[in-house]
Amino acid sequence: MSATYPTTTPPPPTPTFLKLSFPAPRVLLIRMDRPSALNAMSTTAQWEMDSVWKWLDAEPTLSIAVITGTGRAFSAGADLKEWNGSMAADADPSKRMGNAPAFKPLSRRLGRKPVVAAVNGLAMGGGCEFVVNCDLVVAGEEAVFGLPEVKRGVAAIGGALPRLIRSVGLQRASEFALLGEPIDARTAREWGLVNKVVPQEKVVEEAVLYAARIAENSPDAIICTRAGLRQGWESAAVERAVEVTLEREFAELQKGENILEGLKAFAEKRKPVWKGSML
């Protein structure tokens, strides 16, 4: 697993929270690395993650990311101790943690490139909201998912609630979010939140395999296809979702070299050689 990769621009500094590596061609592995706090995110960590997502989307040599955690947790979400401190009576309400501009590092990310969650353990609160918004999810057998915010006097305002409705339906989403009780990996898969449950020690390996298989495809087609899926998920009008994707991502895909290479390689019965996406 390489810590370096021939990207066109260097990755942003990640001194506080994240460790970056490149386990396969065109694949970025992001590891949340604050195990003593169950990989809970401070405001500084949120800005760090925000810069990585922006870099991933702009970097043409990368097609997809995998995100996981160090230790027994994927992530416990926002740092509630810091959040508590930001609620002081004399604090500026606009500076409170839940109002921070970066308080959507993954749970509300729209982005352009897909992300695979490798859920190695506890995915609670904002960490569970991360999972809900990922494109694919691989979970270890010991993974646990939960939105306990209602038990702490706050709410899961990071984007998971409306997305849960679309993924698992009103009744299951209500059970999950209003009770605030955790569910295990098998239940999450049954509900449709998880693609695959694997032995605990294989979770990152399996997620990277998923990502590597996706990254073998046209970088332009990956972005365009994900955009079409997201348009359909985020909006209620199916035909409008198709129109928006045609007008934006597919129009750009048609101008690029990868569509020509893919069709030519098919005709010549060979493997295509992709160029970095500039969509």
78 is a catalytic site residue: yes
125 is a catalytic site residue: no
CATH number at residue 198: 3.90.226.10
Distances from the Cα of 114 to the Cα of 63, 153, 221, angstroms: 8, 33, 12
Q: Are residues 79 and 172 in the same domain?
A: yes
Q: How confident is the model at residue 102 (pLDDT cuts 50, 70, 90)?
A: very low
pLDDT in tens, 105-147: 788 899 999 999 999 999 999 999 999 999 999 999 999 999 9
Q: How confident is the model at residue 44 (pLDDT cuts 50, 70, 90)?
A: confident
Query: Is the residue at 137 inside a domain?
Result: yes
State the pLDDT at residue 54: 94
Query: Is the residue at 11 inside a domain?
Result: no
Q: Are residues 131 and 175 in the same domain?
A: yes
Q: What is the DSSP letter of 194?
A: -
Query: Is the residue at 273 inside a domain?
Result: no
**3-class secondary structure for 16-67?**
CCEEEEEEECCEEEEEECCHHHCCCECHHHHHHHHHHHHHHHHCCCCCEEEE
149 is a catalytic site residue: yes
pLDDT in tens, 222-268: 999 999 999 999 887 888 889 989 999 999 999 999 999 999 999 99
Query: Is the residue at 144 inside a domain?
Result: yes
Candidate list 45, 123, 127, 149, residue with the active-site label: 149
Q: Are residues 42 and 153 in the same domain?
A: yes
Full domain range(s) for residue 232: 219-268
Q: Are residues 200 and 225 in the same domain?
A: no
Q: Are residues 60 and 195 in the same domain?
A: yes
Q: Are residues 210 and 224 in the same domain?
A: no
pTM: 0.89
Query: Is the residue at 37 inside a domain?
Result: yes
Total number of domains constituting the chain: 2
Query: Is the residue at 9 inside a domain?
Result: no
Q: Are residues 203 and 257 in the same domain?
A: no
Q: Are residues 248 and 121 in the same domain?
A: no
State the pLDDT at residue 219: 96
Helix axes 126-133, 160-168, angle to 10 degrees: 50
Report the alpha-carbon distance of residue 227 to residue 231 in Å, rounded: 6
* Tokens matching residue 172: 């299951």
Helix axes 219-234, 238-245, angle to 10 degrees: 150
Distances from the Cα of 119 to the Cα of 62, 156, 205, 230, angstroms: 22, 19, 11, 22
Smallest CA-to-CA distance from 29 within 160, 203, 196 is with: 203
Report the alpha-carbon distance of residue 119 to residue 143 in Å, rounded: 6
| 186 vs 1: which has the higher pLDDT | 186
Candidate list 129, 158, 228, 241, residue with the active-site label: 129
Residue type present at position 133: N
Q: What is the DSSP letter of 2?
A: B
Q: Are residues 163 and 230 in the same domain?
A: no
Domain boundary among 196, 215, 234: 215
Report the alpha-carbon distance of residue 69 to residue 135 in Å, rounded: 17
Portion of the chain with pLDDT greater than 70, in percent: 89
Smallest CA-to-CA distance from 120 within 142, 152, 87, 136 is with: 142
Report the alpha-carbon distance of residue 19 to residue 52 in Å, rounded: 11
Residue type present at position 10: P
Candidate list 24, 40, 78, 139, residue with the active-site label: 78
Q: Are residues 262 and 187 in the same domain?
A: no
